[in-house]
Amino acid sequence: MPATFKLTITMGDPAGIGPEIALKAACGRKWPRNVHFVLVGCREVWMRCAAMINMAPPPECAAISRGNLPQVCTWEPSAYCAQHDIADWHPGRTGKLCGHMAINFIRAAVSLCLKQGYNGLVTGPICKSSIQAAGYAFPGHTEYLAHLSGAPRVAMMLIGGKLRVVLVTRHLPLSSVAKSITRRAVTETVEMTGLGLHWLQAPGKIIGVCALNPHAGDGGVLGKEEKTIIAPAIESLRRKGLKVSGPVPADVIFHQAMHGRFGAVVAMYHDQGLGPLKMIAFESGVNLTLGLPFVRTSPDHGTAFDIAGRGIASPSSMIEAIGLAIRLAGRPNPWQG
Is the pLDDT at 121 greater than 70? The verdict is yes
pLDDT value for 87: 62
Q: Give the residue range(s) of CATH 3.40.718.10 domains in the chain.
A: 1-153+291-337, 155-289
Share of the chain above pLDDT 90, in %: 85
Sequence-distant (6+) residues with CB within 8 A of 241 are: none
CB-CB contact of 291 with 155 (8 Å): yes
pLDDT tens digits for range 196-248:
999 999 988 999 999 999 999 889 999 999 999 999 999 999 999 999 999 99
Of the candidates 39, 64, 65, 49, the residue with the CA atom closest to the CA atom of residue 122: 39
pLDDT band at 1 (very low <50, low <70, confident <90, very high): low
Q: Helix or strand or coil: residue 267? A: strand
What is the tens place of the pLDDT at every residue in 277-317? 999 998 899 999 999 999 999 999 999 999 999 999 999 99
DSSP H or E run through 327: helix 316-329
CATH architecture of the domain 155-289 equals: 3-Layer(aba) Sandwich (3.40)
Which of these, 44, 55, 80, 32, lies nearest to 315 by C-alpha position?
55
pLDDT for the residue numbered 90: 87
In the chain, what percentage of residues exceed pLDDT 70? Answer: 95
Neighbours of 277 (CB within 10 A): 24
Tell me, yes or no, if the pTM score tops 0.75: yes
Tell me the CATH class for 1-153+291-337: alpha beta
- Rounded CA-CA distance 31/291 in Å is 27
Q: With contact defined as beta carbons under 8 Å apart, do 167 and 196 qualify?
A: no
Residue 96 has pLDDT above 80, yes or no: yes
Query: Does 83 have pLDDT greater than 60?
Result: no
DSSP assigned state of 3: S
CB 15 within 8 A of CB 303: yes
Q: What is the dihedral of CA 27, 28, 32, 35, to 10 degrees?
A: -20
- CB-based contact 178:211 (threshold 8 Å): no
**Whether the predicted pLDDT of 52 surpasses 70:** yes
* C-beta atoms surrounding 45 within 10 Å: 20
Measure the CA–CA gap between 2 and 294, rounded to whole angstroms.
14
pLDDT (average), residues 120-129: 96
For residue 63, pLDDT over 80 is answered with no
Helix (H, G, I), strand (E, B) or coil at 191: helix
Q: What is the pLDDT of residue 249?
A: 97
Average the pLDDT over each of 45-54, 72-81, 135-144, 149-158 and give the range with the smallest value: 72-81
Rg (CA), the chain: 20
pLDDT in tens, 155-189: 999 999 999 999 999 989 999 999 999 999 999 99
CA–CA–CA angle 114, 122, 298 (5° rounding): 130
Amino acid at 109: A
**pLDDT, position 82:** 46
| Strand 72-75 with 35-40, pairing | parallel
Q: Give the mean pLDDT of the chain.
A: 92
Whether 218 and 210 have beta carbons less than 8 Å apart is answered as no
Q: Is the link from the previous residue into 57 a cis peptide, with omega within 30 of 0?
A: no
Q: What is the pLDDT of residue 88?
A: 64
3-state helix, strand, coil in the chain (%, to 5): 40, 15, 40
